[in-house]
Every structure is written in structure tokens, then in C-alpha cells.
Structure 1
């Protein structure tokens, strides 16, 4: 396969690139991490753009009155955003599959000891109820096991992971509320727009914080002298 660092071909039986000396497995892991990072950035960009676009509807609705408000026009204006959130959800699922593959390997390569079995990297996301709290625990475990952190640094990592997961859950929940909302009255329309803006903001924040954990874990494991 080609080396992710210099592009030279690495024979299957060789673990180091003959041209630059890079570890083949480590550089391959770095390439996957970069791919996940870029996809998350694209997701964040789409969510942020949707939120900014929705913000433009707040002023017209604020200035409207019950006599001038037109539900049909507002419904046509908000309709495409429900489709955008649906597309964002599909993109997040595709990104999530690649993220799980990256996380599976990151678990194996982290020093440990781990609090949970490796199988929870996958099952923690698909089992109902468990998937509300297991994914951030796995990410935190892998992150702190990939480097040497002091107690204060571990707390900082925990805050980042907690913020990421809270943003994920809020983004999903608010997007569903936005899709189920109506614009029959002026108050309903204002509520729907604010729901959409909040959903987009939390989705963008979740993607940005996930980019941070992907970048840091990949960086730590690529620099590590030991690759399990």
C-alpha cells in the first residue's frame, strides 16, 4: 500500500516505509483520523450555515403582527430546513461509521488500562439507553489512555467530552422538535425558528468538539513510541 506520509509503496510484509521510515500502520491510522476530521468539519460547516440562514428569519417574524403574519409563506420558508436537518443526520451517520472504525483502532492502540471491554466501542452506540452514556465514557477512556495526563488535564478532557456528548444529544433532540413543530400561528413560527437555530448551533458545536477529540487522540497515538 502507499505510504500516507511520502507516497512510496510499502510491501505487505514490511511494517516501515522503505523511503521515509514511517510506521505503515501508524500512518494509515493517521490517514483515517484526517478523513474523519475533515468529514466532521464539513458537518460543522453545513450546520453552522443552516443556523446563520435561520437567524435571518428572526427579524421579519419579530416585526410581524397577527394581522400581517402569513402561515403559508412561513411554512414554505422553513420547509427546506427540515430537509437540511435530515441530510445532516444522514451525513452524521456516514461520518459516525468511519468514526467508529477509527475509534475501534484507537482503543486497541491506546496504552490502557481500560474500564470497559473493546466491544463497547460498537455496542455502546447501538444498544438503547446504554447509548445515552457509554460513548462519551469510551472516548474519554481512550483519550486519557493515549497520553500522560495530570489530574487537572484529565478533568479538562472530561469537560470537553461531556460538552461534546451533551451537544450531540441536544442537537438531535432539538432537530426532531423542529421537524415536528408547526407554523400555524406567529408564536409557533417564532418558536420553530428558535428551535432550528438552537439545533444547528448544537450540531455545529458537537462536530467541532468531536474534531478536537479526533485530532488529539490521533496526534497522541501517532507520536507514541509504542503501537499496540
Structure 2
């Protein structure tokens, strides 16, 4: 297989690249990181496209009145976006499984101290209530333990992780509200479209920030010990 750092061919029976000395496990870890990065970008692209399409529905709704508003027509126009959000949720689930595999390896390769045991890399996402604050703490520990950071840099990492997690929660919550919103009245339709735009924006920003986290952690762990 080719080395992820220099491109030289690494024999399967060799643990290090003969050209640059990179460990094969770091090569594999980089490949997983690139796959997660690309999937996150695809998720961000879908969310951004959905939000931009929903924005186009705002102008007709602004010009509409209670006498000219047609709830059946509006319902048919908005219904496909509910399906898009469902597809986005499925894609996010697939991306999340690969992301957890990446995070598991990143945790194992990051020297301590960690505030949570490695099992919380998985259980932190599925345990009710606990999954509201454990995942960002695990991600923060993995990031700061993957390199050498000054106090100001640690605060910046914490800010990025916190903002990312806020957008994750907002994206999940707003998309659920959008899927249960109605278009019986003009006010309901305007509210539903605004919910959809906000949900799409939060999902796109969450995916973009997660791309930053994956890129930085992967880069730090690959560069270490080279």
C-alpha cells in the first residue's frame, strides 16, 4: 500500500515506510480520517443545499396573504424537504459510525490524561442525558492530548468543540421540529420554512466544524513521532 505521507509503497510485512519512516498504523488512521472528512463534507453540502432551496420559498410566502395562501400547494412544496432531512439523518448516522471508529483510534493514540475511560467514546453517545455533555468532553480531551498546546490554544480548542456541539444539538432539535410542523395557515408555513432553514444551517455548520476537528486531530497524531 502507498504511504499516506510520502506516497512510497510500504510492503505488507513492514511496519514503517522505508522512505519517511511513518508507521503503517498511522497510514491507516489517516485513511479513516480522510474518509470521515469527506463524508462530513458531503453531509454539509446536502444541508447547505437544502437550506438554500428553502430560502427560495420565503419570498412567495412573504408576498402571500391569507386570501391567496394555498396550504395544499405549500404542503406539496415543503414535503420533499422533510424527505431530504430524513436522508440527511441516515447519512449522518452512517458518517457517525465511521466517526466513532476514528474517534476510538484517536483516543487510544492520544496520551492522557483523559477525564473519561475509552468505553465512553461509544457509550457517551447512546446513554440518555449523559450524551448531552460527555461526547464533547471526550473530543476535547482527544484533541488537546494529541499535541502540545498553550493555555490560550486550549481555550480556543474548547471554544471550537463547544460551538460544534451546540450546532449539533440545535440541528437535531430544529430538524425534529421541522418534521412535525404544519402549513395549515400562512403563519404556520412561514414558521416551518424558517425552522427548516435554521436546521439546515446548524447541520451544515456542525458538519464543517467537525471536519475541522477531524482534520486537526488526524494531522497532529500523524505528525507526532515523525
Q: CA RMSD in A?
A: 1.3
CA deviation map 1:171-214 (0-9, x unaligned): 01000000000000000000000000000000000000000100
Match of 1:219 in 2: 219
CA distance in 2, matches of 1:17, 1:135: 34
Tell me if the contact between 1:3 and 1:10 (Cα under 8 Å) persists in the aligned partners. Answer: no
Match of 2:163 in 1: 163
Tell me if the contact between 2:74 and 2:183 (Cα under 8 Å) persists in the aligned partners. Answer: yes
Give the total of aligned pairs.
225
CA deviation map 1:139-185 (0-9, x unaligned): 00000001111111111111100110110010010000000000000
CA deviation map 1:80-126 (0-9, x unaligned): 00000000000000000000000000001112111110110011011
TM-score by length of 2: 0.96
SS in 2 for 1:18: coil
CA distance in 2, matches of 1:16, 1:123: 33
Match status 1:137 vs 2:172: no
Tell me if the contact between 2:109 and 2:221 (Cα under 8 Å) persists in the aligned partners. Answer: yes
Match of 1:51 in 2: 51
CA distance in 2, matches of 1:220, 1:21: 16
Match status 1:203 vs 2:203: yes
Match of 2:83 in 1: 83
TM-score by length of 1: 0.95
Q: Which moved more, 1:106-115 or 1:176-185?
A: 106-115
SS in 2 for 1:15: coil
Query: What does 1:23-172 align with in structure 2 at a 5 Å threshold?
Result: 23-172=23-172
Displaced runs of 4+ in structure 1, greater than 4 A? none
Tell me if the contact between 2:110 and 2:146 (Cα under 8 Å) persists in the aligned partners. Answer: yes
Name structure 1 gaps, 5 residues minimum.
Answer: none
SS in 2 for 1:118: coil
CA drift of 1:10 comes to: 2.3
Tell me if the contact between 1:10 and 1:24 (Cα under 8 Å) persists in the aligned partners. Answer: no
CA distance in 2, matches of 1:69, 1:93: 37
Name structure 2 gaps, 5 residues minimum.
Answer: none
Match status 1:8 vs 2:9: yes
CA drift of 1:32 comes to: 0.7
SS in 2 for 1:225: coil
Tell me if the contact between 2:10 and 2:16 (Cα under 8 Å) persists in the aligned partners. Answer: no
Q: Measured at CA, do residues 7 and 182 of structure 1 come closer, stay the same or move farther in structure 2, by a change above 3 Å?
A: farther
CA drift of 1:7 comes to: 6.0
CA distance in 2, matches of 1:225, 1:109: 12
